Structure 1
């Protein structure tokens, strides 16, 4: 009953299909290794801990538009 209530409250189901595709197909992990990973280990292997470039904010976009007005 609780799982159904969580879905109604806007909780998204865990994306097992995507996670399994990344782990087993893209990373080519053996199943026994895949199923023993912690979420943090999997995230690191899938690129979740790489540095991200800062997103452009509104003022940055406006400055670029002034500089390159094409």
Structure 2
């Protein structure tokens, strides 16, 4: 069984297309650096709302 191949097509699409990095910059990145740059695209606050925050919203906007 062979090891899975790294998804270079997706990495290049992310780095060169979505993040619009210059090719020389993209190819000098380490994989952890590319992953850190990709995190910018994730919406902030992925965590679920706590019940107390929901209760405050319900109290503030009762309709």
| Bin of the TM-score, shorter chain as denominator length | 0.5 to 0.7
Quote the RMSD (CA, aligned, Å): 2.3
Q: Distance in 2 between matches of 1:47 and 1:10?
A: 29
Corresponding residue for residue 32 of structure 1? 24
Corresponding residue for residue 47 of structure 2? 53
Structure 2 unaligned regions, length at least 5 = 49-63
Structure 1 unaligned regions, length at least 5 = 1-8, 55-70
Q: Distance in 2 between matches of 1:47 and 1:30?
A: 18
What is the TM-score when the length of structure 2 is the normalising length? 0.60
Name which of 4, 19, 24 aligns with 1:12.
4
Q: Distance in 1 between matches of 2:4 and 2:47?
A: 27
User: With CA pairs under 8 Å and 6+ residues apart, which has the higher RCO, 1 or 2?
Assistant: 2
